[in-house]
Amino acid sequence: MRRYVPLLIAGAALIAAACVDSIAPSRSVSQTRTLAVMPTGSNVSSARANQHAEAGAGTSTFRLDARGGSIRIGAFRLDYPADAVCDPNRSGYGPDEWKKPCTALGHNVTIRARFWTDGGVAYADFNPDIRFDPTKVVTLTTLISDIRGLALTPAMRADYSIGYTTSSGTTRFFVNESADDPSTATQFDVDRNGEATGRAYRRIYHFSGYYVRSGKSDDDLSSEGEGGLQQY
């Protein structure tokens, strides 16, 4: 059975540096509408959510700067240009909305992160749900030590791809967005010998929840801290 490894997950130190930068006032989570649309299609799988595990999730907050920037989130890095965040009160949200034009938010926005593990699967959810201007390139990058020095195979690419996750009630959904949109496929850097360097990244059009596939168990996650992921 495939296991999952953390994406966008950190403990109490989750992007602490981003929170102390001297930037303009941010809109709080409570002031920003959350738009939730459940994904459907052949590229979507689902499982019953473990509400007990999710109730014990850790939390942290950070801000996306209207001027753009690069934020380290645990073992991951989010890179985004200026005015990349769509105003959630003036734009739709969901698979049919990702590529539609939008009005930029124009100021900083505060994001609240929830992170937990359950049965070897590590999750991260974000509130409010926001999407990015499709004319701007926003990327998520990580370093995965487990694949370093290995020849990349189709199976390995699938096992370590970065996926989208969201939930509704007692159901959690897992979405392979690249099945419908190749621009969201996870890319893997290789060296001159064609072997993986460990760097993996993908374009994202929205900021909801993500996960990275791997073969780690709960014990691995506890002993390694980042489950095979290294600080970027």
pLDDT tens per residue, range 156-184:
998 888 888 888 888 888 899 999 899 99
Residue 83 structural domain: 3-230
Block residue for tokens 């929205």: 206
Q: Are strands 162-168 and 139-144 parallel, antiparallel or unpaired?
A: unpaired
Q: Are 117 and 218 in contact (CB under 8 A)?
A: yes
The predicted-structure confidence for 45-66, as pLDDT tens digits, reads as follows 888 888 888 888 888 788 999 9
Provide the domain count of the chain: 1
Of the candidates 110, 226, 123, 198, the one whose C-alpha atom is nearest the C-alpha of residue 165 is 123
Which pLDDT belongs to residue 213? Answer: 56
Asked if residue 128 has a cis previous peptide bond (ω within 30° of 0), the answer is: yes
Intervals of the chain under pLDDT 50 = 1-36, 214-232
Spacing of C-alpha 87 from chain mean position: 19
Using a 10 angstrom Cβ sphere, with 0-12 exposed, 13-18 middle and 19 or more buried, the burial of residue 152 is middle
Sheet strands (E) in 26-160: 26-27, 44-48, 58-64, 69-73, 76-80, 108-118, 121-131, 139-144
